[in-house]
Amino acid sequence: MKTVNDFNFNGKKALIRVDFNVPQDDNLKVTDNTRIVSAKDTIDKVLKDGGSAILMTHLGRPKGEASEKFSLKFIVDEVSNVLGCSVKFVDECVGDKAEKAVSELKSGEVLLLENLRFHKEEEQGDVNFAKQLAKLGDIYVNDAFGTAHRAHASTAVIAQFFPNNKCFGLLMAKELEAIQKVLKTGEKPVTAILGGSKVSSKITIIENILPVVDNLIIGGGMTYTFVKANGGNIGISICEDDKLDLALEILRKAAENNVKVYIPEDSVVADNFSNDANRKVVDTKEIPDGWEGLDIGPKTIKTFSEVILNSKTILWNGPLGVFEMPNFAVGTKAIGDAIGEATKGGAFSLVGGGDSVAFVKQNNYTNKVSYVSTGGGAMLESLEGKELPGVAAILEN
């Protein structure tokens, strides 16, 4: 797996696909610069070697048309702040204007191209558009893990124009390494904690990881599909009634693979989907009519925490309860604490997927786990065993 560390960029122009699809406020100021910070090491390596960096990214969904709101000129200041140098900007990403800006770029300088998705050819994976982009650099670097599952012009198609001069950025390498640790090289016991509301959205992941994990912890809304499938009463808890057979099939496959499955034994239930609802702790299999499970209970917290503390490799995807409501965030926080404790004791922990990442950031757990993935969809597809076009394009000779 070639990374930027395998190249010397002295006098070279590095064309780097980054993922600066960052959140902004109403004044278009960046509200979370995590993705920019994540690309800094790769860009720094190029500049330290004496090369120049041409950054390309998308922002939002402009649907193939130029739009003031989605212009990257509004993030230039934040990129400059993070990199600690003045970043140049050109309001095009292909054509004469972009080529002129690149030709004027000196060693040690950084140029940000305009939003790739102002051109519909980007998402179409158009070869000619990729060829125009390729003209801008000597070495192609893909450091955009968040878009690696898309076969777009700048993430996958472009690599063919750099047969011997293409590599991964350091963020991308870290992401792939973290996933490999869970799926292939992780020290045992390996524990996967899967939360969220739907079994259907996690089924492919579960099927792919069963041969490699020792423990599967189920939490969140999908708990109740498993409980109902096993004949329990779940009151008005969320449930995919058309997935009851699937839940039983998962349990059967887990048993075949000698995977121990942990389903919450008690739940914090509420008589209304609200933080202020009446709540009580009940056996998960005996939720009264008119009540719904919104968090894991104290017995479950104890059991799950013990499993986690005895694990050497941990994957966490999805919250264990409705963590957006403080009264139902207790379980997710306790699991976060247990993962932090296990990590401190030498375990490797990977957190990924929108809600888990949001939780980790909001509650300052980022430094308590080994790695927080920057790419929700890309990470999930990797865990499902799918080949990511942006990764395959770099690995192809």
User: Any binding-site annotation on 100?
Assistant: no
Give the residues across from 282 on adjacent strands. Answer: 267
User: Any binding-site annotation on 21?
Assistant: yes
Which whole-number Å values give the CA distances from 252 to 207, 219, 255, 316, in the listed order? Answer: 11, 18, 5, 22
Compute φ and ψ for 206, nearest 5 degrees: -55, -45
User: Any binding-site annotation on 375?
Assistant: no
User: Any binding-site annotation on 337?
Assistant: no
DSSP designation for 95 = S
User: Any binding-site annotation on 152?
Assistant: no
User: Any binding-site annotation on 17?
Assistant: no
Nearest-angstrom CA–CA distance, 366 and 147: 22
Looking only at the bridges linking them, the beta strands covering 371-372 and 190-194 are unpaired
> What value, to the nearest 5°, has the Cα angle with vertex 202 and ends 200 and 204?
95
* DSSP per-residue string spanning 41-59: HHHHHHHHHT-EEEEE---
User: Any binding-site annotation on 311?
Assistant: no
SS3 372: strand
User: Any binding-site annotation on 230?
Assistant: no
User: Any binding-site annotation on 279?
Assistant: no
User: Any binding-site annotation on 181?
Assistant: no
| E strands, 8-157, in order | 13-17, 52-56, 88-90, 110-113, 139-142
Asked whether the beta carbons of 370 and 350 are under 8 A apart, the reply is yes
And the tokens for 369?
């786990």
Q: Which residues are catalytic?
A: 35, 198, 354, 377
User: Any binding-site annotation on 91?
Assistant: no
Of 248, 203, 242, 216, the residue nearest 229 (C-alpha): 248
Of 258, 236, 235, 232, the residue nearest 247 (C-alpha): 232
> What value, to the nearest 5°, has the Cα angle with vertex 289 and ends 283 and 294?
55
User: Any binding-site annotation on 150?
Assistant: yes
Q: Determine the residue type at 350.
A: L
Asked whether the beta carbons of 380 and 205 are under 8 A apart, the reply is yes
User: Any binding-site annotation on 123?
Assistant: no
User: Any binding-site annotation on 207?
Assistant: no
Binding-site residues for (2R)-3-phosphoglycerate, in ranges, read 35, 117, 150
Binding-site residues, in ranges, read 19-21, 35, 58-61, 117, 150, 202, 293, 324, 353-356
Binding-site residues for substrate, in ranges, read 19-21, 35, 58-61, 117, 150
